[in-house]
């Protein structure tokens, strides 16, 4: 009956699953915003250097139309499909500034923590669905100040590679066994492999190994179902086929004149190096988990030592997760993703210990994915066991809640520390004040000074080569920068003899500079630097040496940057340098230094 009164029809109630998904999404956004703010403050306590600046300059070139990075020689990894697009988007908003590296580092680590937490949760619900992600996120919550901050919260150093890898594991973990999942896995692994060869050790090999073993067990009648076996064999094929896909993509990029990457050193460590590698691996693991008591003690800060001791709880939880996964694997009760996580961190650590990448504590970047892998594994293996009404588990839960509160306080403390200026900030301020805007320097100063001044000052990296001359440094450099027809340079920055390591000396001398470029018109002294200046009519790029065939001298400290340290490696670097300069030499115009006539072209 129509009564003339309006009636309000209630909207259909949202299903409980949708409400839970909305609640999780809202919680993740709030947590992500809070984490990002904390990590950004902590990232700013570390000084940006030329490695991070190099990626920022590559992204700037990418943003301005050089989509294939034509003419670029990058390092032994390109970050082309991961951090470089991220930096380009940030630079679109922020411009060319060192703070882009801090924002990018904080963003990457925030995504890493959230991805590890979601992977740790798996398909659990209820109390277990809360305990598992909290445990994983808690382990990663508060990186250690110092080298830990530089590894996890600063420039691209393999940490960001774990983000797409964890997303791939999350896809496999949450999706049904459908045909399109292996296709997406193949594309995602190939995409990430283009950016970072470490993907081979932390994702491709582990997934292939686990699926192969499970497939072999299935052939013996020890696998759940035939459909599951076919699905896992498809995942095995996806992992293996990611390798030729990456090779094809990089070959096409190079054929089109795009970026080129230096060869990754795959040599095995000598027997005498294994003990040192094991020590560095152990110290690096403590650094990743914020528990490097030895490094904290060297700072002389009792508070830093206390923070590191509290972080040993995270190490214990991660160890419990690894032990639990190993026992489950021995009993053939370990799930696919748990097995992949366990194998990934084992392969990563084994390659690090047996290879030549371990040089010092900064080399911990090579095993950075171990942290999110171990945290997610701990959440999946340990989180559910914390639940229960017995007194022991209740006491353990209360204790872990207290530790989590301490971790949060540590993050707040680290974020509140004063920011550090970029490296060589004094030099970056002094050069434009003296109207010196286009010059040459060692690698350590070159790209960071260029970035810090927003391109107002451009320094191009050079180093000593055999024969007592100076040549271009083919590492994180664009060939266009060395084109004398379009670019100029009229000064050279050297470090004074005996300067501290913080000055970033490249080992070049005044005698080598004079032999290569002729006698300078002026010489300035600023802090730990000598600045040799030639008349503006002189273009030092015209006189850069093309290195001879024999190995040259690499600048001191380059091993910490990942440069080849062997004679063969130096030959590769020098050949790369010759190709780089040859790209920019006009035909028939080869720079030479005449015998007995320093600085003169013949």
pLDDT per residue over 19-29, tens digit each?
A: 777 877 888 88
CA dihedral 419, 409, 125, 26 (to 10 degrees): -50
Q: What is the mean pLDDT of residues 93-117?
A: 96
pLDDT at 597 over 80: no
Q: Answer whether 248's CB lies under 8 Å from 257's CB.
A: no
Q: State the Cα–Cα distance between residues 183 and 168, nearest whole angstrom.
A: 11
pLDDT at 69 over 90: yes
Task: Give the residue from 148, 113, 153 showing the smallest Cα distance to 32.
Answer: 113
pLDDT at residue 308, as a whole number: 94
| Three-state DSSP class for residue 161 | coil
Task: Give the residue from 485, 486, 482, 433 showing the smallest Cα distance to 459.
Answer: 482
Pinpoint the alpha helices (H) of 202-301: 205-219, 226-255, 274-288, 293-298
List Cβ neighbours of 162 (8 Å cut-off, separation of 6 or more). 112, 115, 202, 368, 369, 371, 372, 373
Tokens encoding 31 = 């947590």
Task: Give the residue from 238, 248, 180, 163 showing the smallest Cα distance to 204.
Answer: 238
Which pLDDT tens digit goes with each residue over 467-485?
889 999 988 999 999 999 9
State residue 473 phi and psi, 5-degree precision: -105, 110
pLDDT at residue 531, as a whole number: 95
Which pLDDT tens digit goes with each residue over 362-375?
899 999 999 999 99
Q: Answer whether 569's CB lies under 8 Å from 553's CB.
A: no
| Least confident stretch, 33-37, 262-266, 400-404, 416-420 | 262-266
pLDDT at 1 over 90: no
pLDDT at 601 over 80: no
Q: State the Cα–Cα distance between residues 420 and 433, nearest whole angstrom.
A: 22
Q: What is the mean pLDDT of residues 538-561?
A: 53
Tokens encoding 11 = 């909207």
Per-position b or e across 275-291, b if 16+ CB within 10 A of its CB: eebeebbebbbbbbbbb
pLDDT at 534 over 60: yes
pLDDT at 274 over 70: yes
Q: Which DSSP category does 203 fall into? A: I
Q: Which DSSP category does 300 fall into? A: T
Q: Answer whether 89's CB lies under 8 Å from 189's CB.
A: no
Angle, helix 126-140 to helix 391-415, in steps of 10 degrees: 40
pLDDT at 566 over 50: no
Q: pLDDT band at 594, cuts 50/70/90?
A: very low
Domain range list for the chain: 24-48+98-415, 425-584
* DSSP codes of every residue in 12-74: PPPPHHHHHHHHHHHHHHHHHHHHHHHHHHHHTTSPP-HHHHHHHHHHHHHHTT-TT-TTEE-
Residue holding tokens 């030729």?
244
| Three-state DSSP class for residue 199 | helix
Angle, helix 370-382 to helix 162-174, in steps of 10 degrees: 30
pLDDT at 599 over 90: no
Q: Answer whether 476's CB lies under 8 Å from 54's CB.
A: yes
CA dihedral 568, 570, 572, 575 (to 10 degrees): -130
pLDDT at 563 over 70: no
Q: Quickly count: other Cβ atoms within 10 Å of residue 34's Cβ.
A: 13
Q: Answer whether 574's CB lies under 8 Å from 552's CB.
A: yes
Q: State the Cα–Cα distance between residues 30 and 36, nearest whole angstrom.
A: 10
List Cβ neighbours of 373 (8 Å cut-off, separation of 6 or more). 162, 202, 341, 344, 345, 348
Percent of the chain's residues with pLDDT above 90: 69
288: left (phi over 0), alpha (psi -120 to 50) or beta: alpha
Q: Could you give the C-alpha distances from 512 to 268, 464, 467, 542, 553, in angstroms and in order?
A: 35, 7, 9, 16, 12
Task: Give the residue from 294, 261, 94, 265 showing the smallest Cα distance to 194.
Answer: 261
pTM over 0.85: yes
259 vs 566, more confident: 259
List Cβ neighbours of 122 (8 Å cut-off, separation of 6 or more). 132, 173, 337, 380
């Amino acid at each position: 009956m129509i009564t003339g009164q309006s009636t309000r029809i209630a909207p259909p109630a949202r299903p409980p699953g949708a409400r839970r998904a909305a609640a999780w999404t809202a919680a993740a956004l709030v947590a992500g915003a809070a984490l990002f703010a904390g990590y950004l403050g902590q990232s700013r306590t570390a000084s940006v250097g030329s490695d991070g600046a190099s990626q920022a300059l590559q992204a700037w070139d990418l943003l301005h139309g050089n989509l294939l990075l034509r003419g670029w020689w990058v390092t032994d990894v390109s970050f082309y499909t991961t951090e470089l697009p991220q930096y380009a988007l940030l630079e679109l908003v922020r411009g060319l500034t060192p703070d882009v590296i801090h924002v990018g580092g904080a963003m990457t680590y925030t995504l890493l923590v959230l991805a590890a937490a979601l992977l740790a949760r798996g398909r659990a619900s209820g109390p277990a669905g809360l305990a598992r992600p909290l445990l994983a996120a808690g382990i990663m919550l508060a990186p250690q100040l110092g080298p830990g901050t530089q590894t996890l919260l600063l420039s691209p150093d393999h940490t960001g590679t774990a983000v797409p890898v964890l997303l791939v594991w999350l896809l496999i973990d949450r999706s049904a066994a459908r045909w399109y999942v292996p296709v997406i896995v193949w594309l995602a692994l190939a995409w990430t492999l283009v950016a970072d060869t470490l993907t081979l050790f932390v994702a491709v090999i582990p997934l292939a190994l686990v699926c192969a073993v499970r497939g072999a067990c299935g052939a013996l009648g020890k696998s759940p179902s035939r459909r599951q076996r076919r699905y896992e064999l498809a995942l095995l094929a996806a992992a293996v086929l990611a390798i030729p896909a990456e090779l094809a993509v990089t070959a096409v990029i190079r054929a089109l004149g795009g970026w080129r990457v230096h060869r990754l050193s795959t040599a095995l460590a000598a027997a005498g190096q294994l003990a040192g590698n094991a020590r560095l691996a152990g110290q690096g693991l403590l650094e990743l988990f914020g528990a490097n008591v030895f490094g904290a003690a060297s700072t002389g800060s009792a508070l830093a030592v206390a923070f590191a001791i509290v972080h040993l709880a995270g190490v214990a939880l991660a160890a419990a997760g690894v032990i639990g996964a190993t026992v489950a694997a021995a009993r053939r009760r370990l799930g696919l993703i748990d097995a992949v996580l366990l194998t990934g961190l084992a392969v990563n650590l084994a390659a690090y210990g047996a290879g030549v990448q371990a040089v010092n504590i900064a080399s911990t970047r090579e095993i950075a994915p171990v942290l999110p892998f171990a945290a997610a594994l701990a959440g999946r293996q340990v989180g559910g066991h914390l639940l229960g009404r017995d007194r022991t588990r209740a006491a353990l839960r209360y204790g872990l809640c207290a530790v989590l509160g301490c971790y949060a306080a540590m993050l707040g403390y680290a974020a509140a520390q004063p920011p550090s200026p970029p490296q060589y900030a004094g030099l970056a301020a002094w050069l434009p004040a003296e109207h010196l805007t286009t010059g040459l320097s060692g690698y350590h100063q070159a790209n960071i000074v260029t970035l810090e001044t927003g391109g107002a000052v451009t320094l191009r990296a050079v180093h000593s080569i055999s024969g007592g001359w100076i040549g271009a440094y083919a590492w994180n450099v664009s060939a266009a920068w060395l084109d004398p027809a379009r670019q100029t340079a009229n000064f050279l920055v050297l470090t004074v003899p005996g300067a501290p390591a913080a000055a970033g000396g490249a080992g070049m001398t005044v005698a080598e500079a004079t032999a290569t470029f002729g006698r300078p018109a002026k010489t300035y002294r600023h802090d730990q630097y000598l600045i040799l200046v030639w008349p503006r009519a002189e273009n030092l790029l015209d006189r850069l040496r093309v290195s001879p065939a024999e190995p040259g001298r690499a600048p001191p400290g380059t091993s910490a940057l990942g440069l080849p340290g062997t004679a063969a490696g130096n030959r590769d670097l020098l050949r790369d340098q010759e190709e780089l300069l040859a790209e920019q030499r006009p035909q028939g115009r080869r720079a030479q230094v005449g015998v007995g006539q320093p600085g003169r072209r013949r």
